[in-house]
Amino acid sequence: MNAMKMKNQTSKKTRPTPKQKARPDGLKGWTQIAHFLGQPVAVAQRWARSGMPVVRGGRFMTASPEELSRYLGREAGLDVPVHIASESMDLSADLKRALSYARGGNKAKKRR
């Protein structure tokens, strides 16, 4: 009997499978995705049901910040990806870009 127990114990000892690491620039889980969007988790889940680009990776949903920005730009009716700001970012360049885009759009409307 001892030999059988020893055999069962050794067969159970297997090398653990390496966990897939999330991409350093990727978002893993609803909490990270919702935090990136600046919305509650329930809103992020609702947006995912309506077509937001998220992928199930095992137990977690994953998303690329670049894909989310492009999706938000398309949903807002813009030709450019939306830049999601955080507290530590300098927003002056984004403000200049948005103003030039808005002024360009106003000129096109006035010409008609």
Q: Quote the pTM value.
A: 0.56
Domain extents for the chain?
23-84+92-105
Q: Which of 64, 61, 32 shows the shortest CA–CA distance to 49? A: 61
What amino acid is encoded at 63 in this protein? A
**Which residues, at least 6 apart from 33, have a Cβ–Cβ distance to it below 8 Å?**
27, 44, 54, 61, 63, 68
Q: Which pLDDT score, from 0 to 100, does residue 74 have?
A: 84
In tens, the pLDDT along 37-66 reads: 989 999 999 999 999 999 998 899 999 998
Residue 111, pLDDT > 80, answer: no
Strand (E) or helix (H) holding 56: strand 55-57
pLDDT score recorded for residue 88: 67
- What's residue 22's pLDDT? 45
Which class does domain 23-84+92-105 fall in?
mainly alpha
DSSP 88: T
